[in-house]
Amino acid sequence: MKDIRTLSLEDLKEYFTQIGDKPFRAKQVYDWLWSKNLHSFEEMTNLSKNLRENLSKDFVINPIAVDTLQKSSDGTIKNGVKLHDGLLVESVLIPTETRTTACVSSQVGCSLNCEFCATAKLKRMRNLEVAEIIDQVALIDKQSRLYFGRPLSNIVFMGMGEPMMNYKNVVESIRKITSPEGLGMSPRRITVSTSGIPKMMKMLADENLKVKLALSLHSAIEHKRNDIMPFSSKFPLTEIMDALQYWYRQTSSPITFEYCVWGGINDTDEDIKALIKYCRQVPSKVNLIQYNPIGEGKYDHRNIEAEERYVHELEKAGITIVVRRSRGGDIDAACGQLANTHSRKEATGVAGT
Ligand code: SAH
């Protein structure tokens, strides 16, 4: 049966007209679904009993379900979330003193092959539906209210998957999250993180969404970046810069570069110089992310001295650099650790049961 949340407001109006009811019912149902995140027709109390029964004969609402919930000693909560077809994604609540951030997934698995990332070890199974993205946001909002007594404040598309490869649904979900008829959140508190697909970044710039953009850079030296993120050999750094400059021209919103420092990989002065040169070409700042080892050997060597040199040299060059403490590491909820370790079998394909 069809999930009612795959219908647009227009589709819903048509449905109500067809069954001989008033088109304004569409708005009422839409509101329950997208603003109140309701998952059952019975609870749509401004509709007649008869109409609620009709709706449940014609449609389903496929909610996500928390499969596993793990709490970190630092307050981070990692949800293993089960989708209606049995596949799993992960959604993380990251609390700080003043904010609660939801780190949401956009795909089941990922089709990119970043060597250092755990999600890349899962093959891409499918894109998430708009409703599946919204449900993750609603879930984390509920948990934030329950455990921290405050609503969700920020959203980062930094969970499983590459948002630009599920472009349409990611954009539509942002529209629903930010519209007054939806969840009504501020777009400035939403960050889309991409590994860098120039054409899609330019398209996103033209959507007028007012979200922030982060680029996973990790090296500003072409051949090194291609080793670290093999798929990126299709997209030269100059082309990515061109897209970033376009982004800034269209949105006036500075870029955040995400960057991990690995001993023996990108810890030389040449690496630092290349990063400074790259950053200078567009208004930006750098988030130095503490790497979370995933047992890949090559990337497991932290070089704290090099991290300090990065900070020192970038600051000297007048570039803002923020060192991001890793969160949720003890429950594998940190960046790049989202790989369904609690239930790998289901995540890698024998799912659907
Ligand atoms: N595909 C998107 C979003 C998901 S990754 C992207 O590439 O941006 C979110 C961030 O986590 C990226 O910056 C990625 O480079 C980083 N990351 C991946 N694995 C990591 C790990 N093991 N430790 C720290 N950061 C990691």
Q: Name the band, by pLDDT with cuts 50, 70 and 90, for residue 341.
A: low
289 lines ligand 1 (CB under 6 A): yes
Residue to mutate, 121, 160, 193, ligand 1, most ligand atoms under 8 Å from C-beta = 193
Q: Quote the distance between the C-alpha of residue 294 and its chain's center.
A: 20
Tell me whether domains 2-60 and 65-331 share a fold.
Answer: no
Q: Name the band, by pLDDT with cuts 50, 70 and 90, for residue 352.
A: very low
- d(CA 229, ligand 1 centre) in Å: 11
- d(CA 291, ligand 1 centre) in Å: 9
**Architecture per CATH, 65-331:** Alpha-Beta Barrel (3.20)
Q: What is the mean pLDDT of the chain?
A: 92
**Beta carbons within 8 Å of 202's beta carbon, 6+ residues apart:** 243, 246, 247
Per-residue confidence (pLDDT) for residue 340, from 0 to 100:
63
**Which residue ranges are tagged as binding site for S-adenosyl-L-methionine?**
161-162, 193, 216-218, 292
- d(CA 158, ligand 1 centre) in Å: 7
User: pLDDT (tens digit, 9 = 90+) per residue, 95-130?
Assistant: 999 999 999 999 999 989 999 998 888 887 899 999
Domain spans, the chain: 2-60, 65-331
Tokens 């003043």 locate to 98
90 lines ligand 1 (CB under 6 A): no
Closest CA to 338 of 290, 288, 294, 291: 294
Nearest CA to ligand 1 atom 7: 195
Per-residue confidence (pLDDT) for residue 345, from 0 to 100:
35
Per-residue confidence (pLDDT) for residue 162, from 0 to 100:
96
Per-residue confidence (pLDDT) for residue 349, from 0 to 100:
29
User: pLDDT (tens digit, 9 = 90+) per residue, 283-313?
Assistant: 999 999 999 888 878 898 889 999 999 999 9
139 or 338: whose pLDDT is higher?
139
| DSSP secondary structure letters along 151-182 | ---EEEE-SSS-GGGGHHHHHHHHHHHHSTTT
Fold of the 2-60 domain: DNA polymerase; domain 1 (1.10.150)
User: pLDDT (tens digit, 9 = 90+) per residue, 153-205?
Assistant: 999 999 999 999 999 999 999 999 999 989 999 999 999 999 999 999 999 99
- d(CA 53, ligand 1 centre) in Å: 45
Instruction: Determine whether 90 is an active site residue.
Output: yes
